[in-house]
Structure 1
Amino acid sequence: MSEVQHAAHPSSHASHAAAPRTAAVPLQVRQVAGRIGAEIAGVRLSGTLDDATFDAIQAALLRHKVLFFRNQGHLDDTAQEAFARRFGEIVAHPTVPSVDGSAHLLELDSAHGARANSWHTDVTFVDAYPKVSILRAVVIPPFGGDTVWANTAAAYMHLPESLRALADTLSAVHTNAYDYASTHVHADDTQLKRYREVFTSTVYETEHPVVRVHPETGERTLVLGHFVQKIKGLSSQDSAHLLQVLHEHVTRLENTVRWNWQQGDVAIWDNRATQHYAINDYGDAHRVVRRATVHGDVPVGVDGRRSVVLKGPGATLQ
């Protein structure tokens, strides 16, 4: 594919250096798929990255929805957190404890049942779910273990007009108390039971508009994924049918990008405009990734409706 440049500084015309850099120069951006995803080369991620280069990364993220960086093996937990803070306040997972030695990083370790092989947007069972997620590859299996992302803004834009109009009016209830075990094709019962107990140690339910307006781009994006329990006002059967129709539009191959992980890779995605799926196809091999998430904002629908917490911390008595 052709390489395009995103200027990190309008007056910078420096040539591309072979070694990673922290100076404010144009980004080397290679678009990976037609509607989502770009790889950025030649940048050494850190909490001290210069403002111009960081601003260019943010602009590229809003455009491409997910960014991939190879050769970031210099990052440890502390450095990953420091870089994540450039995007805003970093927050811990609401129920799963952070990895030892960190206040905020979530470790997803296949040896402990963390194989989330289903389509989801991170933590949508709370109201102000994360706006950005930063995932670092720690242990990568010799085969498999790819992650696929879908562009929920593109999915909305390519819906039939009548279905867009319907989606604009809908709200859905999201919860962390879903059938976690049903999404796992390779994990023993003990692992799943333990992970589910932790994951649902506090039960959350939040009602989100099915279509939210992105606070930075103005795009309309679909707020769906495996945390959705039901569509408000519909029977369970009708809700399931309609959710399946919308899900099929989100996950059309044209809306997706697939990333083959290497040791030291980092992926950053706009959690307000994407879903993702970690493929569980690596057998007994070991896979460990660590995720930082950045505090988000309460979604607002096209008609001004805001998300409402129904159960869990922040819920209001009805």
Structure 2
Amino acid sequence: MSPVSPVSPTITPMPQALGAVVTGLPETFDGAVAAQLNDAWMRHQVLFFPQAHLDDERLIALGSLFGNLAATSPGRADDHRQQTVLGAHGEILEIDADRERANAWHTDVTWAETPPTGALLSMRTCPERGGDTMWLDQYRAYETLSEPVRTLVDGLRAVHGRPPSTGEHTHPAVITHPVTGRRALFVNRGWTTRFEGMSSIESTGLLRMLCDHAERPENTVRWTWTPGDAALWDNRCTQHYAVNDYGTAKRVLHRVTIFAPAA
């Protein structure tokens, strides 16, 4: 059992397939809080912090409980090149929807050799209506496949990336989470393009089926933002989708991307 801090946040699981709400976040984050939040992160995959109002210093402090931080992917200076990077060491990416709208299901940066383990978003300006974000459970997506399909995808490797806009890398179609030990589907509509050893027709049909299966509403949770909310997700076992239904309204977030510490 994780140690409990004298000032311990309350973690309430959501009724959907994944997600939990964290309230009572303390001003400082000691080892007990870090252990409690990491345990909740592994259990629930996405943590929501309503009205946390994290300034950039606290955003970095909270994100650092889960790994090493960067604004975006190491080695890709042109990634999100139109956005603003903040923080003393460039840890924060400012995401302004006037310049970028990613309204498609995806897992972040799976075209990299080592994709990020997670990310923490802090909502600074959000529309009065619309602009929700959805996440889906890649554990559940894998576990609810039929046994013959699970057997097929267990042995496949998938190619991720859309050169020249991104790099390109191959990953197993199903991965074992390094902490939980659970198996998760690791393909997504945003970045996965084909399976090694398959024809174009075979790859296209199988990828479409897997994405349609993963994206079913019963595999998802949806968050309606208010200014000051924050959300943390595990990039290894989720996908997410920013809903583009708010017209010309402003939507600005600060994000830190989380990478596993060196072994």
TM-score, length of structure 2 as denominator length: 0.90
1:230–1:267 Cα change, 3 Å:
same
Q: Partner residue of 1:31?
A: 13
Q: Partner residue of 1:254?
A: 218
Q: Partner residue of 2:86?
A: 101
Per-residue CA deviations over 1:106-158 (Å, capped at 9, x if unaligned) read 2221111x110000011111021111210110110011000000000111111
Report whether the alignment pairs 1:157 with 2:151: no
Ranges in structure 2 where 5+ consecutive residues have no aligned partner: none
Report whether the alignment pairs 1:214 with 2:177: yes
Measure how far apart 1:277 and its partner are. Answer: 0.4
Q: Structure 1 stretch 103-112 or stretch 75-84: which is displaced more?
A: 75-84
Aligned residues: 253
Aligned residue type for 2:108 = D
Q: Partner residue of 2:121?
A: 135
Per-residue CA deviations over 1:213-263 (Å, capped at 9, x if unaligned) read 100000001111111111111122221110111112211211110000010
Q: How does 1:58-207 map to 2 (within 5 A)?
A: 58-73=38-53, 75-93=54-72, 94=76, 95-97=79-81, 99-102=84-87, 103-112=90-99, 114-177=100-163, 200=165, 203-207=166-170
Measure how far apart 1:78 and its partner are. Answer: 2.9
Say whether the 8 Å CA contact 2:86–2:93 is kept in structure 1.
no
Measure how far apart 1:86 and its partner are. Answer: 1.8
Q: CA separation in 2, counterparts of 1:270 and 1:134?
A: 9
Q: How does 1:287-298 map to 2 (within 5 A)?
A: 287-296=251-260
Per-residue CA deviations over 1:173-201 (Å, capped at 9, x if unaligned) read 111438xxxxxxxxxxxxxxxxxxxxx3x
Say whether the 8 Å CA contact 2:67–2:261 is kept in structure 1.
no
Q: CA separation in 2, counterparts of 1:122 and 1:101?
A: 20
Identity of aligned pairs, percent?
39
Say whether the 8 Å CA contact 2:107–2:235 is kept in structure 1.
yes
- 3-state SS in 2 of match to 1:87: coil
Q: CA separation in 2, counterparts of 1:34 and 1:261?
A: 17
Aligned residue type for 1:9 = P
Say whether the 8 Å CA contact 2:86–2:94 is kept in structure 1.
no
Say whether the 8 Å CA contact 2:46–2:233 is kept in structure 1.
yes
Q: CA separation in 1, counterparts of 2:156 and 2:235?
A: 20
1:84–1:279 Cα change, 3 Å:
same
Measure how far apart 1:26 and its partner are. Answer: 4.8
Greater length-normalized contact order (CA 8 Å, ≥ 6 residues apart):
2
Say whether the 8 Å CA contact 2:104–2:242 is kept in structure 1.
yes
Aligned residue type for 1:221 = A
Q: CA separation in 2, counterparts of 1:129 and 1:77?
A: 23
Q: CA separation in 1, counterparts of 2:122 and 2:181?
A: 29
Q: CA separation in 2, counterparts of 1:173 and 1:111?
A: 30
Q: Structure 1 stretch 160-169 or stretch 91-100: which is displaced more?
A: 91-100
Say whether the 8 Å CA contact 1:152–1:273 is kept in structure 2.
yes
Q: Partner residue of 1:19?
A: none
Ranges in structure 1 where 5+ consecutive residues have no aligned partner: 1-6, 11-22, 179-199, 299-318
Q: Partner residue of 2:240?
A: 276
Per-residue CA deviations over 1:15-35 (Å, capped at 9, x if unaligned) read xxxxxxxx5355422222332
Aligned residue type for 1:258 = R
- 3-state SS in 2 of match to 1:286: coil
Choose which of 6, 9, 30 in structure 1 pairs with 2:3: 9
Q: Partner residue of 1:301?
A: none
TM-score, length of structure 1 as denominator length: 0.75
Q: How does 1:32-51 map to 2 (within 5 A)?
A: 32-44=14-26, 48-51=28-31
Choose which of 23, 29, 54 in structure 1 pairs with 2:34: 54
